[in-house]
């Protein structure tokens, strides 16, 4: 299992400055086959600067255990955040 990309990332409007919500389409390679599904996630920054990434529930029709996908998606999203590749508006 490998996270290929998260396409069409869009930031949702919000009034809490330390909580950013996003939507996109995740492309995951599972058993040499690419699977695309919608993903929603939020990044909350604590007062000490720590990032907390939360994912909405994933689709139930994935033929792969959910925990490794969630862990890999969180790591991929954190890397996107650190590189500055998430939309700001």
Q: What was the pLDDT predicted at 16? A: 92
> Is residue 89 domain-resident?
no
Range of the domain at 9: 2-83
Closest CA to 42 of 74, 3, 64: 74
Tally of structural domains, the chain: 1
Q: What was the pLDDT predicted at 4? A: 97
> Is residue 88 domain-resident?
no
33-74: pLDDT as tens digits? 999 999 999 999 999 999 999 999 999 998 899 999 999 999
Q: In the predicted model, what is the mean pLDDT of the chain?
A: 95
Strands of the chain (E only): list them.
2-12, 19-30, 33-45, 51-55
């Amino acid at each position: 299992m490998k996270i290929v990309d998260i396409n069409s990332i869009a930031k949702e409007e919000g009034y809490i400055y330390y909580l950013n919500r996003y939507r996109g389409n995740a492309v995951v390679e599972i058993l040499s086959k690419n699977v695309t599904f919608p993903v929603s996630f939020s990044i909350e920054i604590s007062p000490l600067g720590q990032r907390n990434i939360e994912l909405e529930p994933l689709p139930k029709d994935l033929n792969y255990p959910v925990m490794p996908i969630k862990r890999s998606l969180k790591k991929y999203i954190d890397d996107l955040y650190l590189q500055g590749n998430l939309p700001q508006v």
